[in-house]
Amino acid sequence: MSALLIRGGRLFDPASGVDAVGDLLIRGEHIAAVGEVEARGDEEVIDAAGLLVAPGLMDIHVHLREPGQEQKETVATGTRAAAAGGFAAVACEPNTSPPRDTAERVEELLEIARREAVVRVLPKCAITVGQRGEELSDLAALRAAGAAAASDDGFAVADAALMREAMAAAKRAGMPLTVHVDGPEMVERDIGLAAEIDWQVHFSHVSLADEVELIARARQRGLRVSGEATAHHLALCRADAPEGDASFKMNPPLRSARDRGVLRVGLSAGVISVIASDHAPHSAEEKAQPYEEAPPGAIGLETTVGVVWTDLVHGERASPETIVRAMTAGPAEVLAVEAPALRAGARADVTALDPECEWTVEPERFESKARNCPFAGRKLKGRATVTIVGGRVAMREGRIVELGAAA
């Protein structure tokens, strides 16, 4: 049985109340001991002095593009990018070609992931057939096939009756819903449906102050409602975007400085409980089109940690506890899966971060196939240095060091 000893790091798991310098022993796929560790001498040792050792980070809003758009990204390249960015698990959106709206397509993705992924892959499925908003997908069959959540990413389900039917079907199937945010009116509608059906709803890439306030009021009422913010909406506003630069074209678009400020406050208050990348790779040719014709979206798996640590932690806008919780326990709660944790017996998904590492964003050196990054050339402070997935070292010092499937 393989063994890893992470020596002398700041063990940091806010959800479990862990914050102390110590050691972490991993044997096989699980954490064997935390704190004062007695080594046997057969362990590979990772010196974590000066590092923050956290549960493995999770990103629940990622586009891997496979099948059908492999020129932009694949499961292999996207999960390498995830490992490079410190993520041990990613949930991928269903807007592939064709959309992931059948059990067979969920199973196909899981088989590709078993062969090629270097981090854990949790597939989302489409709420409606073809993501067209006309006919409900078979959510029970999709859940049974392994879908982690349902989303019509990029599209809100406009038909209120169909969305009510979707929420009821999701409840019967035990399927989390992560819905595309399309303005305060749709957020208010879906909060009302969540109250009526008594089921959970998670709002992806929240960006407007009014959306944050609606979610806050819903949570105060005890509704099972949660919100997510992307690193780019937390760090940037529309005043930061050079005119006509499609690298800054997003969906939702960058908002006002006031919206960004409310989003940051909502994160620190726990109203926004998840930070995600919304990693959306596109080819250079697509992004080089005139602004109006270029597709929206930016890559983010390899920059999210650095961006939020620089702008929020070092910028004194959010605490390390808030950030780590929003990238570990928060995402796990949305997906109703076991949260990564630093405790004996837990699955050994671990991320080590260097909060003082200064680096410059160079997209041409990324693991992702894509280069559409609004942070290119920016100097950041804070970076993941080790990613461990199920006891395997997937990334160390920026290099993918162990390939093979992540179950």
Q: Residue type at 114?
A: R
Contact 266, 212 (CB under 8 A): yes
Q: Which residue segment(s) compose the domain that 373 sits in?
A: 3-54+344-400
Say whether both 241 and 286 belong to one domain. yes
Flag whether 405 is in a domain: no
Say whether both 42 and 101 belong to one domain. no
Examine the fold and report which residue of 335, 366, 391 is the final residue of a domain before the chain moves on: 335
Q: How does DSSP classify residue 31?
A: E
Examine the fold and report which residue of 284, 306, 335 is the final residue of a domain before the chain moves on: 335
Say whether both 68 and 87 belong to one domain. yes
Flag whether 240 is in a domain: yes
Say whether both 209 and 187 belong to one domain. yes
pLDDT tens track, the chain, 407 positions: 689 999 999 999 999 999 999 999 999 999 999 998 877 888 899 999 999 999 999 999 999 999 999 999 999 999 999 999 999 999 999 999 999 999 999 999 999 999 999 999 999 999 999 999 999 999 999 999 999 999 998 899 999 999 999 999 999 999 999 999 989 999 999 999 999 999 999 999 999 999 999 999 999 999 999 999 999 999 999 999 999 999 999 999 999 999 999 999 999 999 999 999 999 999 999 999 999 999 999 999 999 999 999 999 999 999 999 999 999 999 999 999 999 999 999 999 999 999 999 999 999 999 999 999 999 999 999 999 999 999 999 999 999 985 544 54
Say whether both 147 and 279 belong to one domain. yes
Active-site residue, selected from the candidate residues 101, 278, 311, 349: 278
Say whether both 292 and 313 belong to one domain. yes
Any idea how long the chain is?
407
C-alpha to C-alpha distance for 192 and 190, rounded to whole angstroms: 5
Q: How does DSSP classify residue 352?
A: E
Neighbours of 158 (CB within 10 A): 13
278 catalytic? Reply is yes
Say whether both 331 and 361 belong to one domain. no
Say whether both 61 and 17 belong to one domain. no
Say whether both 352 and 270 belong to one domain. no
| Radius of gyration from C-alpha coordinates of the chain | 20
Say whether both 302 and 204 belong to one domain. yes
Say whether both 67 and 49 belong to one domain. no
Say whether both 360 and 308 belong to one domain. no
C-alpha to C-alpha distance for 231 and 2, rounded to whole angstroms: 35
